[in-house]
Structure 1
Amino acid sequence: MSRWLLAYDGYDPDWEGVREALCTLGNGYFATRGAQPEATADGVHYPGTYVAGCYDRLASRVAGHTVVNEDLVNAPNWLPLTVRIEDGPWLRLAALAAGDGALLAHRQELDLRRGVLTRLLRFADAAGRVTRMAQRRFVSMDDPHLAALETTLVPENWSGRMEVRSAIDGRVTNSGVARYRLLNGSHLVPDGEGPHGHEAVWLSCRTATSRIGIAVAARTRVDAAAERRTHDERGWIGQDMTVRAQESVPVTVEKVVALFTTRDRAIGEPAEAARTRVDRAGTFDELLERHVPAWDRLWHRSQLDVDREDVQRVLNLHTFHLLQTVSVHTVELDVGVPARGLHGEAYRGHVFWDELFVLPFLTLRFPEIARALLLYRWRRLPEARRAARREGHRGAMYPWQSGADGREETQRLHLNPRSGRWLPDHSHLQRHVGLAIAYNVWRFYEATGDAEFLAEYGAEMLLEIARFFADLAVHNKKGDRYEIRGVMGPDEYHDGYPGRDEPGLDNNVYTNVLAVWVLCRALDVLALLPADSREGLRERLGLTGEEITRMRDVSRRMRVVFHDGVLSQFEGYADLEELDWDGYRRRYGDIRRLDRILEAEGDTPNRYRASKQPDVLMLFYLLSRQELDSVLTRLGYPPGPDLIERTIAYYLPRTSHGSTLSAVVHAWLMARVDGDEAWEFFLESLRGDIEDRQRGTTAEGIHLGAMAGTLNLVQRCYAGISTQGPVLHLDPRLPTGLGHVRLGLRYRGHWGIDVTCSRDRLRVALRPGVASPIEVACDPDRVTIEPGGSWETPLADGRLPARHA
């Protein structure tokens, strides 16, 4: 199969949700799931359109409690287009598959290179009339407000009356995730609808509480003489077009759609803007001619090639969905990185810590997008400060789940589908999300050298986060160490101690060590800034010399817990019971969601040495060996030989991989330990969404962090690229499954770097016409490459030979 094509044959109701998520089309402003245009939300299909940053908040009554949830809103469905022959039923694939007529052929193809979804359908109605249908659709990467659908119908063995219905449906709700359906999902309030000229209709609504106006206009054209009738209901409007079809003569229907909201710039009223844009829009083919080159430009900047077609196809799919969620159009928006993209309603469209996995790829190719995503966090710094003050602390405490305004959106109750019980949710105690934001700020500065960003925005975020963690740390009983108590780590299976009423854990090693790393970077920032900027920032923040002294003190005396010669996930971890892993696998098979299994049995993962995903091990993913050694040595815990390898070996068999991020992180970790096992983890991370390895979660939205994580693995692990100041560092480690990796990069103002790794050679070239030379380090070599020049060094089976190591 082509590296640029994702194709599905036949009709499988059990997999329609996965196909719809993976065939989503978007442009960073809005995205629409790959549902069939004639489908409605019926338990099999789920048409969904999501506008970046369009959130709404509703109250629901659950388990005797009133809970308030904010959702990324399912916007009006612009897709509806169906057909019927004579007075027969409107086309529905499910009905055909059930025997009401016959489904003769069905194929869906997603062209990743061009951003076009094609559907080929052949069916017979109950009277034996056979019709062939071909559909193409795209969401314009050229104009972020436009989308288009083209449908060509060919009567194979009949002539007669054919009706085509094209509509806009504003009656949709947020109901795409089964476990949320007891919650209020009616976010859209109709404002009006009507015809516009002869060919178009429009619909306007607003969100229930955030009062964001959303308007959609649709222009439908038929290339045959047609009688046209417009009809509407509150929140729905459509046109029926009747044509006299002739055997073997194609009839083409073209639907062009414009979508605007009150959050948009340079418009008056959204409905007027949508009507005007759809009036001025060209034909389907004219719009496509501008859409495809826009994707070409993105692919040119996203070059990441390997020599295995099956791997390359999935990497292309992951790049495609990343750029549909956060594209060049995102730069003008105030949005973050939704954990499930703009592809579904899982996690309610919230922003977690997924920038950790997304920004490395973007920063080295689209630094302007990465910068915009960091500014989303900067704009919510005042809310993070208020959150810290409410907890009695200085600085900024960012929420685990963020949405419109940056308040904590994490649910306080969650449903275990296995037991049917609603349970307390303490995941808001994952304070480490602030550390991830500070980490991203520093890594962005390292890779771009954007001193203006650091001075204007980044330093303020980094210092306020460091300030919070310095204040969060408290002296232990002896007074010789600082501790951080009552938090959760990335693991998520452990939210407290057995027998203790208060939730939270003490001295989670990931939180403590990364906090020290962030404190050190905050001190570095103060040293980096020019004196006037530094003093101005300190004055603006009210940052005292006493606080800076405390930061320095905490960064030298934070407590780190060990047991059995490895880093302890948290204090008391060594006192937990060992889980009977083999027994649970025999009983349940798939134990990725071990927490749900244990709770359904009346037990809790808090009792066991069992993790959902990497926790301690995340330190080895984020920090180089030298950085980690430096932190531990600074704290007075010299790491000693093989600490990393021992810790990996300890936690790997105690991890259930209940998150798609788990395989990504383990693929990175094992690349330094066991190449064959690392390759298996990498393949597992590639399969995560395309095979729905988490059993039902992909239909609710793709896992954007895991997708971006695979791309980062290729560039950061296999090509060995690291960002350390003005010099580009490389330490390639090709896995056994690959013989060739090629990347195009942008680094610190250099916009034409090509890196090629094969089993026996590393080559770095700087394209002609760039502004200045670049310095490259590949130990022990350190060279300067001029524009148009290149440099090569030998590799031994994809790695630096011993003389370099």
Structure 2
Amino acid sequence: MLNYNKKLPDGASDWVVTEENFQTLALGKCEAVMALGNGYMGLRSAAEESYVGEKRNLFVNGTFNRFDEFEVSELPNAADVTGLDIRVDGKRFTLEQGEITEYSRSLNLRDAELVRSFIWTNAEGKKLEFTFRRFVSLDRLHLIGMKLDIKSLSGSVKVSIASGIDAQVSNSGSQHFHEGEKRIYDKKYLELIQTTTESKVDFVIGAAHRLKLDGQEIENSPAMEIDRRKVAVAYSVDLQEGQSLSFEKVATVHTSRDLAYAQDYSLPAMREHALGDLKSVYAAGYDALFQDHASAWAKVWNEYGITIESKNSFDLLALRFALYHMVVMTPAHDRRMGIGAKGLSGEGYKGHSFWDTEIFILPFYIYSNPKTARSLLEYRYLGLEGARRKAKENGYAGAMYPWEAAWPSDGEVTPVWGAVDIVTGEQTKIWSGFIEQHITSDIVYAVWHYYRATGDEDFMERYGYEMIFDTAIFWASRLEWDEAEGRYEINEVVGPDEYKEHVDNNAFTNYMAHFNIELAMQYYSKLETERPELFKHYDELLNLKEARKVWESKLDLIYLPQPNENRIIPQDDTYLQKEIIDLTPYKDQEKVGSIFNDYNLDQVGNMQISKQADIMMLFFLLENKFAPEVKLANYEYYEEKTLHDSSLSLSTHSILASDFGDKELAYHLFKRAAEIDLGPKIHSSDAGIHAASLGGIWECVVMGFAGVRMLDGQLHLAPKLPDHWEKLSFPLHWQGKPLEISITPQQISITNTASEPVQLFVNGELQVVQDTAIF
């Protein structure tokens, strides 16, 4: 369905994702994969003309709202500014009629521009050339730019275009906005003001249009329309054969959640500012605005300048695709916002943040852009309010992070009901919001990872220590004493493998809880000795001295499942006793979750089947706590039982395959991860792109193939490039020092541009790099 061989006009390759055939039954794929954004907002790439089954989504980060008391908070679908009602000689234009040739819709990753072009012949035999362009500005976060060029190739035609701001949209039926106010200034500047129903976030959306005939701007007084939840204008132009019409549209989006209004907000002031912004971008024009946007992206690619020289060019394009989407979905501008599991590309998971951010996306920012990594962790610090409330509501102490997070103070926002049970016909209850609790220690792991990799003591003093201490207090209160076994256990949980619900002693959960408490004890001692004033502050805030007594009494009695006689660590208390079935029919499936066509969740729960990496994730995060032979034995045991029905899974298994020296399997899993969104499965991305998997692609390359790890506070580099890779180069930040690393099958080159030397382990040997070193 998608082609990756198209080059940019200047000849640059491995930058373009192209759709070469229009398919009305597969609209969601390109809408999500080719989504645009800048972290402030995300725009799903629906076509300008309307089709049944399309999803027209515009999301502004952080603007969460609840439709009513029976639903959870979600990012509201803002008014559509991309839809155009195009008519040719009075008949509505659609690709479902007429003849289409030379069709192409491309996402240019380098410049973050969406371009769609084709030649269309209508039923009367009149032929027109269409080119649509669109971008969401990285230079001006509130700006969306669009351009349509229409050329008459045979005969004269009358072209009419109706365009505006259409708030007759919803989130799959949930309407998040009050009716709002509409206005048109000077027959040119369109304005729509709406407020979310529950969170009371104000939106001001503006739009303006410019028409040119054969390059010359024309004044064309539009027909104006204001209707329910809609404001629009319509233009008509007569085109002679050979003439071209250029139709430009700029739109601006501002909300009361914008950081500029965090302290001092009034709707009239924002409205005035938004109108001024709209007039400014209109005066600049599409071409100049796009050039500024492209320049901003050039800086991004220069900063994240990772390159792969591979015999398979798809490898580099897949990596660039992953980096592109991480940029467009990350709210680098505002620490009050997280990253949704679908980014800003679709309604899937309602814009909520999961452990996906900390475990799969944050490593990219830790090593590529520590400033953004810190912002994402500060979002979690701001979420302590909701985490403490969740702990209290569940009868625990400390901070218990929500499985799904929205606005930081919202607390738990996981829906309660999900898909159908094929046996009972009832809705399946979603237990993760209640008992999938490992996210609390996952966030602490990310804090620790960031601190050891950056040395950012200021972050720890302001935020990090408090997060670690209060989550350790939670875990200590969560532990359950088993008198018969003489140990503390953690029962009734869901681990990373979500096909196993209500299990006792999930190994990942237990080990990570132990890590969390142990880390808190280490930092307790550090602050007590080195920073007595800071220690006093946290002691007064959290009663640390009493907490320490509890930690000391419980830590060594936490049950940590150990390898059996076959070196296998039980995923939970009963996993190894469950039935084993042949998983071959479900391993190479067209759509994830196909096993539920034959079994319900309770039945799958009684089989040795894993949705995703569980024990393997433990080996990745706490790898130096386990012997290599134990890791290998478990990998071989659990890999054949893992369906990879979660997009989070393949990258972890790929990294471990690299560690074990299985280059062929490591690359195969990397490619499968890349093909979750870019592959041929036409409905894989309908609900949005897979944010964690995209972060995992970077992890496969840098932490897997290049072997970059942080172990016990030390940087390690142990490359195992795929056999068909000739070179891998990437930037890496370590302890505030920027490094440039280049790896070939023959050598490793490390350049340190900082004035101080860097220590790291290269293939297990401690090395010191001052300027450039070759190994």
Q: What is the TM-score normalised by the length of structure 2?
A: 0.92
Q: 1:506 aligns with which of 493, 500, 504?
A: 504
What is the identity, as a one-letter code, of the residue corresponding to 1:296? A
- In structure 1, the partner of 2:10 is none
- In structure 2, the partner of 1:192 is 181
- In structure 2, the partner of 1:275 is 275
What's the secondary structure of 1:617's corresponding residue? helix
Deviations 1:638-668 (A, max 9, x none): x6x6111111111111111111111111101
2:115 equivalent to 1:128: no
What is the identity, as a one-letter code, of the residue corresponding to 1:610? I
Task: Give distance in 1, aligned partners of 2:388 and 2:86.
Answer: 55
Deviations 1:705-761 (A, max 9, x none): 11011101211122122235775331222223423111112222213x110111010
Deviation at 1:83, TM superposition (A): 2.0
Q: 1:324 aligns with which of 328, 331, 334?
A: 328
What is the identity, as a one-letter code, of the residue corresponding to 2:126? R
What's the secondary structure of 1:73's corresponding residue? coil
What is the identity, as a one-letter code, of the residue corresponding to 1:688? I
What is the identity, as a one-letter code, of the residue corresponding to 2:58? T
2:593 equivalent to 1:607: no
Deviation at 1:783, TM superposition (A): 3.6
What's the secondary structure of 1:701's corresponding residue? coil
2:471 equivalent to 1:465: yes
- In structure 2, the partner of 1:498 is none
Task: Give distance in 2, aligned partners of 1:121 and 1:395.
Answer: 59
- In structure 2, the partner of 1:754 is 740
Structure 1 residue runs without a partner (length 5+): 61-66, 176-183, 496-503, 630-638, 794-805
Q: Which has the larger displacement, 551-560 or 157-166?
A: 551-560
Deviations 1:485-531 (A, max 9, x none): 11110100111xxxxxxxx2211100001111222222222233332
Indicate how the Cα distance of structure 1 residues 518 and 595 shifts in structure 2: closer, same or farther if over 3 A, else same. Answer: farther
Task: Give distance in 1, aligned partners of 2:199 and 2:598.
Answer: 39
Indicate how the Cα distance of structure 1 residues 592 and 118 shifts in structure 2: closer, same or farther if over 3 A, else same. Answer: closer
Task: Give distance in 1, aligned partners of 2:63 and 2:746.
Answer: 50
Contact preservation (8 Å) 2:718, 2:764: no
- In structure 2, the partner of 1:46 is 55
Deviation at 1:82, TM superposition (A): 3.5
2:715 equivalent to 1:715: no
Q: 1:305 aligns with which of 301, 304, 307?
A: 307
Deviation at 1:598, TM superposition (A): 4.4
Q: 2:773 aligns with which of 778, 791, 803?
A: 791
Contact preservation (8 Å) 1:679, 1:736: no
2:445 equivalent to 1:446: no
Deviations 1:105-151 (A, max 9, x none): 32111110111111112112222111111121110000100110011
What's the secondary structure of 1:400's corresponding residue? coil
Alignment of 1:25-424 (within 5 A): 25-39=36-50, 42-43=52-53, 45-59=54-68, 67-88=70-91, 90-94=92-96, 96=97, 101-175=98-172, 184-224=173-213, 225=218, 226-266=220-260, 268-269=266-267, 270-281=270-281, 282-308=284-310, 309-326=313-330, 330-355=332-357, 356-404=359-407, 405-416=409-420, 421-424=426-429
2:538 equivalent to 1:517: no
Task: Give distance in 2, aligned partners of 1:379 and 1:486.
Answer: 28
Contact preservation (8 Å) 2:40, 2:61: yes
What is the identity, as a one-letter code, of the residue corresponding to 2:418? H
Q: 1:425 aligns with which of 413, 424, 430?
A: 430
Contact preservation (8 Å) 2:490, 2:505: yes
2:737 equivalent to 1:773: no
What is the identity, as a one-letter code, of the residue corresponding to 1:279? K
What's the secondary structure of 1:54's corresponding residue? coil
Task: Give distance in 1, aligned partners of 2:80 and 2:231.
Answer: 11
What's the secondary structure of 2:445's corresponding residue? helix
What is the identity, as a one-letter code, of the residue corresponding to 1:668? I
Task: Give distance in 1, aligned partners of 2:557 and 2:590.
Answer: 42
Task: Give distance in 1, aligned partners of 2:559 and 2:724.
Answer: 41
What's the secondary structure of 2:615's corresponding residue? coil
Contact preservation (8 Å) 1:506, 1:570: yes
Contact preservation (8 Å) 2:147, 2:246: yes
Deviation at 1:567, TM superposition (A): 0.7
What's the secondary structure of 1:71's corresponding residue? coil
What is the identity, as a one-letter code, of the residue corresponding to 2:116? R
Deviation at 1:411, TM superposition (A): 1.5
Instruction: Give the superposed CA RMSD.
Output: 2.1
What's the secondary structure of 2:133's corresponding residue? strand
Contact preservation (8 Å) 1:689, 1:698: yes
Contact preservation (8 Å) 1:609, 1:654: yes
Task: Give distance in 2, aligned partners of 1:476 and 1:159.
Answer: 85
Task: Give distance in 1, aligned partners of 2:507 and 2:724.
Answer: 34
2:649 equivalent to 1:662: yes
Contact preservation (8 Å) 1:331, 1:368: no
Task: Give distance in 2, aligned partners of 1:265 and 1:380.
Answer: 17
Indicate how the Cα distance of structure 1 residues 568 and 400 shifts in structure 2: closer, same or farther if over 3 A, else same. Answer: same
Contact preservation (8 Å) 1:196, 1:275: no
What is the identity, as a one-letter code, of the residue corresponding to 1:76? A
Alignment of 1:508-547 (within 5 A): 508-529=506-527, 530-547=530-547
Percent identity among equivalent residues?
Answer: 26
Task: Give distance in 2, aligned partners of 1:738 and 1:112.
Answer: 22
What's the secondary structure of 1:521's corresponding residue? helix
Which ranges of 4 or more aligned residues in structure 1 deviate by more than 6 Å?
none
- In structure 2, the partner of 1:570 is 572
Task: Give distance in 2, aligned partners of 1:265 and 1:445.
Answer: 26
Contact preservation (8 Å) 1:245, 1:251: yes
2:16 equivalent to 1:5: yes
Indicate how the Cα distance of structure 1 residues 439 and 103 shifts in structure 2: closer, same or farther if over 3 A, else same. Answer: same
2:728 equivalent to 1:741: yes
Deviation at 1:74, TM superposition (A): 0.8
Deviation at 1:585, TM superposition (A): 4.6
Structure 2 residue runs without a partner (length 5+): 6-12
Deviation at 1:4, TM superposition (A): 0.7
Indicate how the Cα distance of structure 1 residues 523 and 193 shifts in structure 2: closer, same or farther if over 3 A, else same. Answer: same
2:572 equivalent to 1:597: no
Contact preservation (8 Å) 1:667, 1:681: yes
Deviation at 1:685, TM superposition (A): 0.8
Deviation at 1:592, TM superposition (A): 3.8
Indicate how the Cα distance of structure 1 residues 591 and 190 shifts in structure 2: closer, same or farther if over 3 A, else same. Answer: closer
Task: Give distance in 2, aligned partners of 1:198 and 1:237.
Answer: 12
Deviation at 1:606, TM superposition (A): 1.7
- The number of aligned residues is 740
Q: 2:32 aligns with which of 10, 17, 21?
A: 21
Deviation at 1:340, TM superposition (A): 0.7
Task: Give distance in 1, aligned partners of 2:742 and 2:525.
Answer: 37
Contact preservation (8 Å) 1:592, 1:612: no
Indicate how the Cα distance of structure 1 residues 780 and 598 shifts in structure 2: closer, same or farther if over 3 A, else same. Answer: closer
Deviation at 1:453, TM superposition (A): 0.1
Contact preservation (8 Å) 2:356, 2:648: no
Task: Give distance in 1, aligned partners of 2:17 and 2:112.
Answer: 11
What's the secondary structure of 2:648's corresponding residue? helix
Deviation at 1:594, TM superposition (A): 5.1
Contact preservation (8 Å) 1:203, 1:271: no
